[in-house]
Amino acid sequence: MNFNEGNGLAAYARFGKMASSKTLDYLRERKERFRSSFVSERMQRLFNDFDTSSRRLNVELLADEIRIAQRREKRIYDDGHIKYLSDILDIQHANYQMRSLIMSDTELRRMSRDGQIEGWSSCYKDRDEGRDGFRHRDYRRLNDNLYKRNDEGVYQARHYYENRGADELTLTEKLDALRTIDRIKSLIKKRGEDPTSLNGGKLT
């Protein structure tokens, strides 16, 4: 296969798990250029694997990076809509609205403070920093008028009296955000990539 500077990375992804010597020579010559062009931890892991393996290539990691690059180019991930996200890459690149609702969850806020997850780091702007539960405005937006089971096992709904205007959420938006939060917690339990890390950082 012939390479050029524009399609080299994409062409590399099509080779599968075993690469020809010509492909490996091409990558060895240009890997430092590639390495400096991609700052994500996922891409760093790919190149670290390539450094220590003579012929085995982690195509899955590279395919993820290409999907992310395509998503950024088309700006699909930044449409501003609140919707259920199940794919870890979609969650990691969730828009501002989704990040705000996800990080209103009390358990995820605690994990972020304790350094267990990134919580989107500087990409998350906390409007009520230091406040948790009903004291946080995004928590109130998300949980207003939803029935939840309390410590005694009784289902109760809380209504928070405030005018949210355009910030008011529909029931579907609330449920989609809550389902996404549940999905994030299940991904965290698997101890793989951090679903709240924009750069694909690993959970410790």
pLDDT digits (tens, 9 = 90+) for 77-113: 566 789 999 989 889 989 999 999 999 999 999 999 9
- The whole-model pTM stands at 0.68
d(CA 169, CA 8): 45
Work out the number of other CB atoms within 10 angstroms of the CB of residue 67.
14
Share of the chain above pLDDT 70, in %: 61
Predicted local distance difference test score (pLDDT) of residue 140: 93
User: Between helices 59-74 and 41-52, what is the axis angle to 10°?
Assistant: 150
pLDDT digits (tens, 9 = 90+) for 110-149: 999 999 999 998 889 998 999 999 899 999 999 998 888 8
Lowest mean pLDDT among 27-36, 64-73, 99-108, 111-120: 27-36
d(CA 99, CA 105): 10
C-alpha distance from residue 94 to each of 7, 45, 91, 127, 134 (Å)? 27, 22, 5, 17, 23
What tokens appear for 10 in the block? 């994409």
Work out the number of other CB atoms within 10 angstroms of the CB of residue 127.
10
193 pairs with which residues across the strands? 202
